[in-house]
Amino acid sequence: MKPNNRPKPSAQKTITDVAKRADVSISTVSRVLNHSAPVSFELEAKVKTAIAEMRYRPQTAARTLAGQRTNTIGLVFAEIGPDFYPVMIPSIEKEARLNGYNLLISVGNNPLQFSDEIPFTLGDHYTDGLLIFPASLPAEEIRRQFLNDFPMVLIQQTPPNGLQIPHLVVKNKNIACKMVDHLIEVHGCRRIAFLAGLNEHEDAAQREMGYRQSLAAHGILFDPELRTEGYFLRKESYEAVKLWLQRGVEFDAIFACDDFSAIGALSALNQAGIRVPEDVALVGFDDIEISRYLPPPLTTVAIPIEELGRIAVQQLLRLIHTGQADLVTEVETELVVRRSCGCEYK
């Protein structure tokens, strides 16, 4: 069965239709739509009735073109990345909506090829401003948007080439250091393996710095053999840990750059009959929802994800409306000690 849904262009109701039906001018309709000027009670009622009866909805493209604004902000994220996006995105949407803005989301780094040669990235012209996630847009594109004076806020990354783009970063280094301190001081770990994250993510690099710093502070030499890439992925992390095990690499703890990597590691450990935390301590980063339900509950670092989203939106809207925003906002993180490091937990 093949239903015919072909859109009939003529079927679309326009502001003119509403005006006709309400027997007023389109200006008046526009006014009640936008509250942009006072309208007599009587006419307003007529217009609203007409709108309701016709199920009229204003056409965004026309509003965008005529007005300056789209009342929409865009969000560009990458396929691979910290998996708290499912939590963060709704929080961003909520804050945007609270301010009368709509949210457009796009998987970046995959510019639609417009007309063969002209990269046609979403965001531009479609939105009043962009929230940009790590590894989602090439530096060149960010630069282009910046030169175009397009409002942007970068999340969990610093601007390329020192451009003056407002950005939010999470406190990674010190807390990572603190977590490794905990492993060393409380649990007596000495050979702590490190599952690094995706290179493009600054977060990953900073977490590694914290790791090395703690090692150094405790007089432990960094052993390259104990470092490998997990790429923020379960599978890679799983394989990496398996490889360590096969090669007989010895370690008494694993610091995974994010919780998902930790889960991959956990699986590999489990499969090899190595108990967590009895034989090997395991810690992650991000505190995604699932982490507390893992067997064992994962020791990790909590990021105030929803707050991060809220602040990002607020900064972006400030930027859009006033042209000003804080160049850098640092968001606090918190060590969440559960059972996977060897501590007691509930």
Edge-to-edge order in the sheet of strand 281-283: 227-229, 192-196, 253-256, 281-283
Q: Which two tokens stand for residue 4?
A: 């015919």
* Residues that contact a copy of itself, how many (by CB under 8 A): 98
Number of H helices, E strands in the chain: 11, 14
**Which of 21, 31, 173, 339 lies at the binding interface for DNA (CB under 7 A)?**
31
Residue 139 sits in the site that holds a copy of itself (CB under 8 A): no
Binding part of the chain for DNA, among 55-63, 211-219, 252-260, 300-308 by CB under 7 A, reads 55-63
Binding to a copy of itself by CB under 8 A, coded x per residue (else -) over 152-191, reads x-----------xxx-------------------------
**Which of 45, 62, 139, 217 lies at the binding interface for DNA (CB under 7 A)?**
62
Relative to beta strand 152-155, strand 167-170 is parallel
Cβ contacts of 248 within 8 Å, gap of 6 or more: none
Tell me how far, at minimum, the Cβ of 62 lies from a copy of itself, in Å.
Answer: 5
Of 277 and 296, which has the nearer Cβ to a copy of itself? Answer: 296
Tell me how far, at minimum, the Cβ of 106 lies from DNA, in Å.
Answer: 19
Cβ-in-10-Å burial (0-12, 13-18, 19+) of 317 comes to buried
Residue 35 sits in the site that holds a copy of itself (CB under 8 A): yes
Tell me how far, at minimum, the Cβ of 219 lies from a copy of itself, in Å.
Answer: 34
Binding part of the chain for a copy of itself, among 6-14, 178-186, 200-208, 218-226 by CB under 8 A, reads 6-14
**Which of 48, 58, 144, 318 lies at the binding interface for DNA (CB under 7 A)?**
58
Tell me how far, at minimum, the Cβ of 148 lies from a copy of itself, in Å.
Answer: 6
| CA separation for the pair 113, 147 (Å, rounded) | 21
Binding part of the chain for DNA, among 14-22, 160-168, 191-199, 327-335 by CB under 7 A, reads 14-22
3-state secondary structure of 233: coil
Q: Give the sign of the dihedral formed by CA 189, CA 190, CA 191, CA 194.
A: positive
Residue 228: phi, psi to the nearest 5? Answer: -150, 170
Residue 12 sits in the site that holds DNA (CB under 7 A): yes
3-state secondary structure of 51: helix
Residue 144 sits in the site that holds DNA (CB under 7 A): no
